[in-house]
């Protein structure tokens, strides 16, 4: 097994640090360090929807806002959300919605905010992982956790959880995956690259292995803050 740029094993995650309930004003919140990524997520709601015609009589609407701080990337990003931010917000909101029992709260809104403070590849999966924890921290009834991770290829080997440096290698491919756990259902999947079918399947398998690790870390974080409930719910 060859060595990765940061000496991790091919199936090794970067260091992850989670703190729940960091935000005093939010009903649920999560601070997440994932390698050099830093993410804060807050969840509020369910609450009334304005304007009313945006409400859904069948379920709560999840308004997921993914934003990158201007200083989170190498060259300063404009503070105005771009197409990428809007697209990630849309698909991530759908992914998170599949984990929340939104049908219990018709005609309401669940506000989800994720701010990327520092970015080093994999921010959308880090954001979803944090947002899912913040939703649980907010006490929302959930049918599982969203455990998200990127898998891919770098320097001629299939690897888990790529860094920005790995993404910049010549043959790099990055597949952002989010699973509803423990059900192992895919709720987000995005990749652009050039990958043989067999490798594509293998990367997806790797992602699931990674997601299972993430799920364990998430459960541990929740059990620390909510010893009893955690045991039952997860």
Using CB under 8 A as the criterion, which residues of the chain lie in contact with other proteins when the complex forms?
A: 23-27, 36, 38, 40, 42, 44, 47-48, 63, 65, 67, 69-76, 79, 83, 86-87, 90-91, 94-95, 97-98, 102, 111, 113-115, 117-120, 175, 180, 183-197, 200-201, 204-205, 208
Complex with other proteins: residue 43 or 217, whichever CB lies closer: 43
* Closer to other proteins by Cβ: residue 119 or 217: 119
CB of 205 to other proteins, least distance (A): 7
Residue 184 beta carbon to other proteins: minimum distance, rounded to whole angstroms? 7
Nearest to 139 by CA among 229, 214, 49, 59: 229
CB of 192 to other proteins, least distance (A): 5
Q: Work out the burial of residue 3: count CB atoms within 10 Å of its CB; fewer than 13 is exposed, 13-18 middle, 19 or more buried.
A: exposed
Nearer residue to other proteins within complex by CB, 165 or 228:
165
Task: Specify the residue for token string 């308004």.
Answer: 63
Q: Which residue has the tokens 């990428």?
A: 84
Angle at 83 between CA 128 and CA 53, to 5 degrees: 80
d(CA 104, CA 150) in angstroms, rounded, equals 31
Distance CA 203, CA 176 (A): 10
The DSSP 8-state label assigned to residue 56 in this structure reads B
Shortest distance (Å) from residue 79 CB to other proteins: 6
H/E stretch holding 213 reads helix 197-225
Pick between residue 182 and residue 220 the one whose CB is nearest to other proteins.
182
Q: Which of 47, 220 has the CB closer to other proteins?
A: 47
Least spacing, CB of residue 223 vs other proteins, in Å: 25
């Amino acid at each position: 097994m060859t060595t990765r740029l940061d000496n991790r094993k091919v199936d090794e995650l970067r260091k992850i640090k989670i703190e729940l309930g960091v935000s005093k004003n939010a009903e649920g919140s999560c601070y997440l360090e994932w390698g050099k990524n830093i993410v804060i997520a807050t969840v509020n709601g369910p609450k009334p929807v304005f304007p009313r015609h945006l409400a859904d009589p069948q379920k709560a609407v999840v308004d997921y806002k993914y934003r990158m701080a201007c200083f989170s990337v190498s060259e300063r990003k404009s503070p105005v959300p771009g197409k990428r931010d809007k697209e990630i917000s849309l698909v991530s909101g759908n992914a998170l919605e599949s984990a929340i029992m939104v049908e219990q709260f018709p005609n309401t809104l669940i506000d989800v905010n994720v701010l990327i403070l520092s970015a080093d590849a994999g921010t959308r999966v880090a954001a979803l992982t944090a947002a899912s924890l913040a939703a649980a921290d907010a006490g929302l009834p959930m049918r599982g956790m969203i455990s998200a991770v990127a898998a891919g290829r770098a320097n001629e080997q299939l690897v888990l959880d790529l860094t920005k440096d790995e993404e910049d290698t010549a043959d790099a491919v990055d597949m952002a995956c989010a699973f509803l756990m423990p059900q192992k259902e895919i709720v987000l999947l995005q990749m652009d690259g050039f990958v043989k079918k067999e490798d594509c399947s293998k990367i997806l398998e790797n992602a699931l292995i990674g997601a299972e690790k993430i799920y364990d870390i998430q459960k541990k974080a929740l059990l620390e803050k909510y010893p009893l409930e955690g045991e039952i719910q997860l």
